[in-house]
Chains A and B, each alone.
Chain A
Amino acid sequence: MPQTLLQLTNITKSFGAVRALKGVSFSLEAGEVHALLGENGAGKSTLVKTITGAHQADGGALEICGEVVSNLTPAGARELGIACVYQQPALFPDLSVAENISLRLEKPGVFSRVKWKSQRERAAELLKRIGAEVSPEAEVRSLSMPEQQLVEIACALGSGARIVIMDEPTASLTQKEQHLLFKVVRDLRENGVGVVYISHRLEEIFALADRVTVLRDGESVGTNAVDDLTEAQMIKLMVGREVSAIYPPAQSEAGEVVLSVKGLGCVASGVSGVDLELRAGEIVGLAGMVGAGRTELARVLFGITPADEGRIFLNGKELTILNPREAIAQGIAYVPEDRRLHGVVLEMPISENITMASHSGLFPVGVLKFKAETEVAKIFIRNLGVKASGPDAAGGSLSGGNQQKVSVARWLATEPKLLILDEPTQGVDVGAKSEIHRIIRELAKEGLAVLMISSDLAEVVGMSDRVAVMSGGSIAGILEKEAIDAHDIMELALSGGEVER
């Protein structure tokens, strides 16, 4: 009878009004690899964080090795033998590998001496155990991302953890390193360690995992032995839900080709060989898993990270776009993902936020016309239904959905031909969400070409006239109107193209 290392029962967790986990149960036995699968935002990260003590669950029970644990802290989790290898290594770049490993494994007093020799030897031993060719003396800064990840794994190994959580460990690994990692995982299993393995790549789950739990919308939709499921069944479990009818109906006719890109790529941002066409009046959804290169593609189109290969045609005219200024001048608008960070300027009134990108059009001489500015702001406030005390209200005083509308208004004020929306409804409440959907539809109807990046599958299916699915930095497939289907999108998003990096 294998020992149960971890038992979560009915875990709930909310952030504000968002219910991230709605009663998830999960268990991990000694010597098993238990995969955790789900769409973006299904609650995988939240679940992991409740296990590592980074989040406290609102309800439910957490048992570690048969003992009920409450108020778990990250330090407490570590002491109980839980180690986590995050996607983004959290190492100190200026310290050596050996120093990083010691810092993770020891808790010395302020004045205790550093034992350089034993520190180095232990690091060398751990790295050897996982077969990593990394010098213990190397500065972490000089290591590649996968090498840093191997150091993280060495830390987890060295801590003698009984429960090891791996959050998309292969995302940045080469094939050789992947094999190394698989070997490490299997070794851990042999030694009776329980591994929680999160990955978007189904083939890895088939290769490694014993059981798989699928999360959807903060709920567990089932735990199965991996051998009992086919790939298709797994995908079905992930997307399962019905697309609700709340999306406004498509009503626009696709017109002339507005944007056409051929072989577009940018080495620095990992985008390559993108072929895509957008027509006036058309909403094209850009789907894919996080890290598939959707935002990166948008940033290339908008000139934030300019393309270094391929060609861009706008209304049949070939362009080079080297910075956002040129993109705006050509009629491209980009509403960025994180409106808090790069969208609405919180100190500025709504009116100034709205006109921010269209000074050259509104005030050609460079002298501001406040009356005109207020008029423009009022029109957008009315048309987009921004709820605010008036055009003079500060951007920071608005709710998330209304900030998003102001952000959209800024770009509409530039009178673009192509509108790129990056996660337009992320973190927006349900009411504002359907309003934003209605706005997007109307814009398309007025002849705008819309490229909508979204991790919300239902939104992609409900809103798009066509869907382009990205994977590994290029387009994995394009689904036409009648053929748009959540299952197919997910299959394309999870498909290959990623291993060759």
Chain B
Amino acid sequence: MPALVLALGVALVIITRQIDISIGSQFSMCAVVVGVVAAAGAPLWVALAAAMGAGVVMGALNGVLVAVLKLPSIVVTLATLVIWQEVIRLWQKGRLMSLPEGVQWFGMSQAGGQAAVIGTAISLLVVMAWAMKNLSAGRYVYAAGSDAEAARLAGIRPTLVTFGVFVLMGLLAAFAAVLNLVQSPQVQPNGGVGLELKAIAAAVVGGVAISGGRGRLWGVLLGLLLLASVNPALTHFHQPPYWEKAIQGLVILLAVAADRARAGSVSRKA
């Protein structure tokens, strides 16, 4: 479920014709922030707010570099991916942190907590999908991703849209980290490693066009479910589970190739 939250965010980023591969590190960082603040004895809500704040700051940094300074997002987020990872490593030195009582499963039973986590993630999907379809802001995201110059001439501010989407991505990374924390009694400082692959794969498999401007958030859920079935399928066919990541990578390539083929046929028609 945390992966769904990340995938929703990265779907928006891809719709604006950008990419964010630093989300795994953002996720880890937010989790560590919760652990540190909680360990310092602050109330739980302060810890959660601190995590959200950290997410927004990391997202805003990416956003400024990409939207305002017009640096290529793949390079920017590759750099921030490594930076946050190394900051965590130097800061925490791989320590596991225990979380205070009451965090796990929101203080509920495991079944109730699990339901709450799934419910929260699905509600987020519903709200975001509605917003993308029904709000001017959502329409602007599609417009800026389809044709930034046309959008600008129509009075939309593509820079602001891109910046906003990166900030939202940071916030969602924090949200995902919190949803993940309630599932375990401890904070893993490298809990986000590799999550970007999963999230991006879910988005592109779910039909979000890597060339920007197209894609529905409901598709992201389907993409994620499809990818989640890879592991059980491997077990079923008695194959080692190590293949999962390789298959995710392959699936991304296939989805991108399919999108390219489609985009190619559109532009030939035009």
Contacts and interface: CB of A to CB of B under 8 A. Distances in A.
A304 B151 CA distance: 12
A229 to B, nearest CB: 44
Nearest to A357: B154
Contact of B213 (A304, A344, A347, A410): A347
Contacts of B155: 324-325, 327-329, 357
Interface residues of A, number: 30
A343 B150 contact: yes
A418 to B, nearest CB: 15
Contact of B149 (A342, A359, A396): A342
Contacts of A367: 134-136
Interface in B106-149: 133-137, 139-140, 142-143, 146-147, 149
Given A324-B152, A325-B155, A334-B153, A359 B270 contact: no
A344 B269 CA distance: 15
Contacts of B140: 359
B216 interface: no
B245 interface: no
Main secondary structure of the interface of B (DSSP, over half): helix
Best-surrounded residue of A341, A352, A366, A397 (most CB of chain B within 10 A)? A366
A342 B150 contact: yes
Contacts of B266: 346-347, 396
A134 to B, nearest CB: 31
Contacts of B137: 366
A336 B156 CA distance: 16
A345 interface: yes
A428 interface: no
Nearest to B130: A367
A325 B146 CA distance: 19
A344 B151 CA distance: 10
A169 B214 CA distance: 44
Contacts of A366: 135-137
B270 A345 contact: no
Interface in B169-203: none
Contacts of B139: 352, 356, 359, 368
8 contacts: A304-B153, A327-B155, A343-B150, A347-B214, A357-B153, A360-B136, A366-B136, A396-B270
A396 B154 CA distance: 18
Nearest to B213: A347
A368 B149 contact: no
B179 to A, nearest CB: 28
Interface of A: 302, 304, 324-325, 327-329, 334, 336, 340-348, 352, 356-357, 359-360, 363, 366-368, 396-397, 410
Contacts of A363: 136
Contacts of A357: 153-155
B260 to A, nearest CB: 15
A345 B213 CA distance: 10
Contacts of A340: 270
Given A342-B153, A344-B150, A357-B154, 17 more contacts: A304-B153, A324-B153, A334-B153, A345-B143, A345-B151, A345-B213, A346-B146, A347-B146, A347-B214, A348-B142, A352-B139, A356-B150, A359-B140, A366-B135, A366-B136, A368-B133, A368-B135
A302 B155 CA distance: 10
Nearest to B270: A396
Interface residues of B, number: 25
Contacts of A329: 155
Name the 3 nearest CB pairs between A and B, nearest first: A357-B154, A328-B155, A359-B136
Contact of A345 (B147, B152, B269): B147
A410 B153 CA distance: 11
Contacts of B157: 325
A302 B152 CA distance: 11
Nearest to B157: A325
A348 B143 contact: yes
Nearest to B137: A366
A359 B147 CA distance: 17
Contacts of A327: 155
Contacts of A360: 136
B215 to A, nearest CB: 11
Interface string B14-36: 00000000000000000000000
A327 B153 CA distance: 10
Contacts of B214: 347
Contacts of B147: 342, 345-346
A329 B142 CA distance: 22
Best-surrounded residue of B155, B157, B213 (most CB of chain A within 10 A)? B155
Contacts of B153: 302, 304, 324, 334, 336, 342, 357
A352 B269 CA distance: 21
B141 to A, nearest CB: 12
Contacts of B149: 341-342
Contacts of B152: 304, 324
Contacts of A334: 153
Best-surrounded residue of B136, B137, B153, B157 (most CB of chain A within 10 A)? B153
A342 B146 CA distance: 11
A415 to B, nearest CB: 13
